[in-house]
Amino acid sequence: MRCPICKKDVRLTDPFMPFCSERCKLLDLGNWASEKYVIPGPQAEIDPDAAPEREPGVED
């Protein structure tokens, strides 16, 4: 298997699998956070007047 970021060989027992290193793992996370990667599908409609959802039992 190869690292999806740098294409180096990766073993199933490597600690950062499927990445070759922590650096490549963090680069991938950054790509998701900056929306370089997206999951295709219809865009959700956001109501700007709606109150944010809260988890049960969580208080300010």
Burial class (CB in 10 A: 0-12, 13-18, 19+), 37: exposed
Is the pTM higher than 0.75?
no
In the numeric block, the tokens 């199933």 are attached to 12
pLDDT for the residue 59: 66
Average pLDDT score over residue span 36-42: 89
Amino acid code (one letter) for 27: L
pLDDT at residue 60 tops 70 = no
Give φ, ψ of 2 to 5 degrees.
-120, 145
pLDDT for the residue 46: 79
